[in-house]
A and B are shown apart, each in its own frame.
Chain A
Amino acid sequence: MAHDTHKLEIFRGALKFKSNQQKIVGVLILLSVITAIEVVLGIIKPESLMGMVLGMKLLNWIFIILTIVKAYYIAWDFMHIRDEVKWFRISLVVPLLILIPYLAFILLVEGNYIYNVYLDGFIKWDF
Chain B
Amino acid sequence: MEATVTHADTTEGRPFKASYGKMMIWFFIVSDALTFSGFLAAYGFSRFKFMDTWPIADEVFTHVPFMHGNPQPMIYVAFMTFVLIISSVTMVLAVDAGHKLKQNRVAWLMFATIIGGLIFVGSQAWEWSTFIRGEYGAVETKGGQILQFVDAETHKQVALSEFAVHLEDDFTGEGATTYSVAGVLKGFEEHGDLLVRTQKLTEDGHKTVLTRAESVAKLEGAKHVVEGANLIRNEYGSKLFGDFFFFITGFHGFHVFSGVILNIIIFANVIVGTYEKRKSYEMVEKVGLYWHFVDLVWVFVFTFFYLV
Q: Do B295 and A74 touch across chains, with their CB atoms under 8 A apart?
A: yes
User: At the interface, is chain B mostly helix, strand, loop or mixed?
Assistant: helix
Instruction: Decide yes or no whether B78 CB sits under 8 A from chain A.
Output: yes
Instruction: Decide yes or no whether A54 CB sits under 8 A from chain B.
Output: no
Known: A32-B85, A74-B88, A126-B239. Contact between A108 and B16, CB under 8 A?
Answer: no
Instruction: Decide yes or no whether B293 CB sits under 8 A from chain A.
Output: yes
Known: A32-B85, A35-B82, A84-B16. Contact between A43 and B74, CB under 8 A?
Answer: yes
CB distance from B55 to the nearest CB of A (A): 15
**Chain A, interface size: which category?**
35 or more
Q: Do A95 and B296 touch across chains, with their CB atoms under 8 A apart?
A: no
Q: Do B300 and A71 touch across chains, with their CB atoms under 8 A apart?
A: yes
CB distance from A76 to the nearest CB of B (A): 11
Q: Do B299 and A67 touch across chains, with their CB atoms under 8 A apart?
A: yes
Known: A75-B296, A78-B92, A124-B143. Contact between A99 and B37, CB under 8 A?
Answer: yes
Q: Which residues of A contact B285 (CB under 8 A)?
A: 80
Q: Do A60 and B33 touch across chains, with their CB atoms under 8 A apart?
A: no
CB neighbors of A among B76-93 (8 A) = 78, 81-82, 85-86, 88-89, 91-93
CB neighbors of A among B5-59 (8 A) = 11, 16-18, 23, 26-27, 29-30, 33-34, 37-38, 41-42, 44-52, 58
Known: A111-B45, A115-B51. Contact between A64 and B308, CB under 8 A?
Answer: yes
Known: A43-B73, A85-B17. Contact between A111 and B145, CB under 8 A?
Answer: no
User: At the interface, is chain A mostly helix, strand, loop or mixed?
Assistant: helix
CB distance from A60 to the nearest CB of B (A): 5
A-B contact pairs, 25 of them (CB 8 A): A32-B82, A39-B74, A39-B78, A42-B74, A50-B205, A63-B303, A64-B303, A67-B299, A71-B296, A71-B300, A74-B295, A80-B285, A85-B16, A87-B16, A88-B17, A92-B26, A92-B30, A103-B38, A104-B41, A108-B44, A111-B45, A111-B48, A111-B49, A118-B49, A126-B143
Q: Could you list which residues of chain A lie within 8 angstroms of chain B, going by C-beta atoms?
A: 1, 3, 20-21, 24-25, 28, 31-32, 35-36, 38-39, 42-43, 50, 60, 63-64, 66-67, 70-71, 74-75, 77-80, 84-85, 87-88, 91-92, 95-96, 99-100, 103-104, 107-108, 110-112, 114-115, 118, 124-126
Q: Could you list which residues of chain B lie within 8 angstroms of chain A, going by C-beta atoms?
A: 11, 16-18, 23, 26-27, 29-30, 33-34, 37-38, 41-42, 44-52, 58, 73-75, 78, 81-82, 85-86, 88-89, 91-93, 95-96, 99-100, 143-145, 205, 239, 285, 288-289, 292-293, 295-296, 299-300, 302-303, 306-308
